[in-house]
Chains A and B, each alone.
Chain A
Amino acid sequence: DTGVSQDPRHKITKRGQNVTFRCDPISEHNRLYWYRQTLGQGPEFLTYFQNEAQLEKSRLLSDRFSAERPKGSFSTLEIQRTEQGDSAMYLCASRTGPSYEQYFGPGTRLTVT
């Protein structure tokens, strides 16, 4: 039984560059979530998908951020024109109904220099 996986685990980029992260949910999980966590804070909700449909986006998700889940399996989160404030851990989670517990991946730690 494989859990949620995320790639890469760490990313260092220069300000202004674009980055893309990938999340592979647990097989058969139709709901997929993205969260962001900064140092000393709990994770903050960014967006979520049911299958390939993006159902909700947080106001935290500026127009520099875009997320996709094209075939209802893996998802990507892209950040364009990165800023130092984007430095954080980006977490992905998945679940399947009817229970609401979400299962988290190990996260991608982004450092913008």
Chain B
Amino acid sequence: DAKTTQPPSMDCAEGRAANLPCNHSTISGNEYVYWYRQIHSQGPQYIIHGLKNNETNEMASLIITEDRKSSTLILPHATLRDTAVYYCIVIRDDKIIFGKGTRLHILP
């Protein structure tokens, strides 16, 4: 399995950018990095994915290092509704192997 490593928790002040790091040193050349989040008692929600170029959508930006061994998810203006567990994932063999993710606390 393509393991990912994330810090267990992070704090971010409301209105500031939240930067969530992820290490994925065993990623293969054709594997994408995916980010999901899970708000309490809900199903995981897809956020964004990328291969090697930086990506941006209406929810977030994804910065992938040139060697592809790590990435950072950026929530540009965090709100209280962004409080959730964020999962960095490399999908292999069409299965998602979730780790424990990063619990993001947004501080008012």
Contact = CB atoms under 8 A, between A and B. Distances in A.
Size bin of chain B's contact surface: 20 to 34
Interface range, A side: 20 to 34
A91 B44 contact: yes
Interface in A54-113: 56, 91, 93, 99-107, 109
Given A42-B100, A42-B101, A103 B95 contact: no
A42 B88 CA distance: 11
Contacts, number: 53
Main secondary structure of the interface of B (DSSP, over half): loop
A40 B65 CA distance: 30
24 contacts: A33-B95, A33-B96, A35-B98, A40-B100, A41-B100, A42-B85, A42-B87, A42-B101, A43-B98, A48-B94, A56-B93, A56-B95, A91-B43, A93-B43, A93-B44, A99-B49, A100-B49, A102-B46, A102-B96, A104-B43, A104-B46, A105-B43, A107-B42, A107-B43
